[in-house]
Structure formats: C-alpha cells, structure tokens
Amino acid sequence: MATKLTELQVKNAKPREAKYTLAGGRGLTLLMMPDGSKYWRLRYRFGGKRRMIAVGRPYPDTTLKQAQAKAAEFRALIDAGIDPGDKRRAEKLAERERVANTFGEAADAWHVFRSKVWDAKTAEQARSYLDKDVLPKLRSRPLDSITPAELGALVSGIERRGAYDVAKKTRQWLKAIYSYARANGWTSADPARDLAAIAQRGPGVKNYVHLSLDELPDFLRALDGYGGSALVKACARLALWTANRPGITRTLRWSELDLDAGLWTIEKGRDGMKRGYYHLTPLPTQAVSMLREVQKISGGFEHVFIGRNDPRQPISDGAIAGMIKRIGYRNRQTMHGFRHLISTALNDKGYEADWIERQLAHGDPDKIRGTYNKAVYLEPRRKMMQEWADYLEALGHKAEVIPLFKTG
C-alpha cells in the first residue's frame, strides 16, 4: 500500500536529471521537473479514456492540502458525468470571448449603426467626442470589467473642465453603447445605468445676446450703413427676415430657393440643421428682392453667400461676427440672437405659438399634428413673416418704435 504523501515530503522533494512523480493518492500526483519546479496533476478516466488535468498553481502557490481539495472538486464533476478538462477548456474559451468583447469594438459598432440615421454633423460630433474623451481610457477594456465608478470618474473629469454639454452627451452615449452591446449578447453588464445620479449641474444656460425692440431702429440703420461686404450684410438681413439658424442661413444654397414661389426648402438631413429636420421657410417680398440682386453676384456658384477668398465655400461665422462688431454691436447682438429677438417680438404681439415654433424649426415636423402635408402652417407663417419684414422696413426709417400690427 502506497505511503500517503505529506506536506514535508512535498517541500523536501529534490529534482533529478529526469522528471518524476510522487503519488498523492486517488490519482493526485506531484510532477517534479529537473529545474526544481513542482506541478500538481490529477490522473483520471473519463469515457473509458485516460486523462490528466493540472490542479491549481505550481507548489508552493498551491499547497498539498489545497491540491487535495481541488482534486476532490474534479472527482465530484467526474462522478456527475462532467469532464473537468472539457469544462476548463470551455471556461477558457468563454473568458477569451469575454476579453475580446472590448468597449472600443462595441463603441465602433454602435457608431456605425447609429450613423445610418444620424445626419453627418451629429455622426462627426459623436465620433470626435468618443475619440477624444472616452476611447483613450476604455478602448481595450473588456465590457464586463468596466465599473460604474470608473465611468463616473471619466464623466466627472469632463465636467471639471467645464464641458457640461459634452459630459451630458457622454453619459447618454455610454448608456446607449452598453444597451447596444447587451442587445447583441456581448455583455450583461450595465455600469452606465446610474450615471445621471452623480451628474453635476452646469452653469445656467445663457441666451444668445440680442437687442430689445427699442434698440432695433439704431441697429437697422447701422446695418444699412455698413460699407463692407454686401453679401455679409445680406446674410444678416435674411436671418432677420426668416429667423432661420445662423449656420443654415450662412450656408444657403441656390438649389434650396424657389424665388418665384417665395420659398426656401431645407431638406431632411441637411448639414447645419439641428437634428436634421425638414423645414420650409416662406420668404417675405423684401427677401426675394434682395436675393434676386445677390443672384447677380453669386448665382453661378453653389452657395448664395460665397466666401471672399474662395467662392466655392460660404462666408464664415467670423465674417458675420466681424460685421456686427464693426457697426458697434459687439456683445450686444449675435446672429443666433436674432432668433431670440424675433421669437420674443412675435410672441409678445400675439401670433399663434405653433406658427412661431414652426418658423423657428423647433421640433420634428413629422411628429407635429396634421403634418401629412409638409407645408406646416405655411400660409399663416407667410403672412406673419411678411408683417414682420414690413415692420422691420418701417422701423429702420424711424427714430421711434412703431407698433407691430398683427392682422390675422
């Protein structure tokens, strides 16, 4: 009968020129290597075949007592009809797959998927934020290994530099990426779930600066007297007449205009249009007349308000801001501030809120009631904006503020 192996025997076992084994009982052996390394092995039979499996780490990291306990676990699996060797290989394969499912791969796949419905600007912005703030820290990390605390620290770092809007989007995108990964079976983790609970409140949102109606006469006369680029001046006037977003106005294309019908059509997905909404803008007669004059200058190019140095490109944001500064209204009026000014004026004068909101392109027109016809409130808006343009025209020639008369 073999002598039972003891801890002292394991400790004192010496290497030989060739490897050899010491029996530990019930198939457990200590494999002695010529270099002095000591490995635990369990010999067993499964399905009529002889097999062997490593038990724990080499001695002394795994003691005799620990090796015996682990061997007992393996025997219990064998008795239950499970090959411990097959089980270990399956676990290693699952672990490799888990590690292979990295955050970077999930984020890239999610971005490609979402880009199919995003406009180009949104897709570019999301890619930029991911590449700058998120992926440098998380790209190679397995999805399952990322903790809520880790994501919280990442977003807090963005907040500390004052980029609260970026932090908000990052929280949204982290949740979306993990949701996408779970739906694809890449992870069951949800470390981004509670990020909103620790979100820092940013400074209050400030409206873009804009003048009051009382200040408009002087501004309009200053604008009229501007001696610089006629195209820059025309762009500012069009923004005042239509209330469209600065980026859309500045990059207006001739293909979007039907001057005979007095319409400006912004197709769905247009660059510079918030969320890529479709929008139809009625043009007052003053705008149509001005655009016909501008057509004599830039009608042969893609954009209406062409750049000074490169007519293939539209004028820049800086050109408009520079003009406003030169006529004496720096920090008092901006292009975007025209929208606030117009909204305030039209609401104060009692126009229907739905007309004003649609003129400002707020909300998705496809989700507004009665929008099977894309010309949402077009005729009442045409009348409203014509009255606004007439008001501005009269205001620019008077020292005092005149009433804005609403007839409908």
Catalytic residues: 245, 274, 336, 339, 362, 372
Of 333, 354, 332, nearest to 343 by C-alpha is 354
Let me know: does 102 contact 110? Beta carbons within 8 Å.
no
- Residue 31: strand, helix, or coil: strand
Which two tokens mark 186? 């890449």
Of 209, 195, 96, 185, nearest to 151 by C-alpha is 195
**DSSP codes of every residue in 110-124:** HHHHHHTTS-HHHHH
d(CA 292, CA 201): 48
Which two tokens mark 142? 């397995």
Residues near 357 by beta carbon (within 8 Å), at least 6 away in sequence:
363
Ramachandran class of 361: left when φ > 0, alpha when ψ lies in -120 to 50, beta otherwise: left
Residues near 356 by beta carbon (within 8 Å), at least 6 away in sequence:
343, 346, 347, 384
Let me know: does 232 contact 316? Beta carbons within 8 Å.
no
Rg value, the chain, Cα = 36
Which two tokens mark 338? 């025209």
d(CA 261, CA 278): 18
Strands (E), 222-345: 257-258, 263-266, 279-282
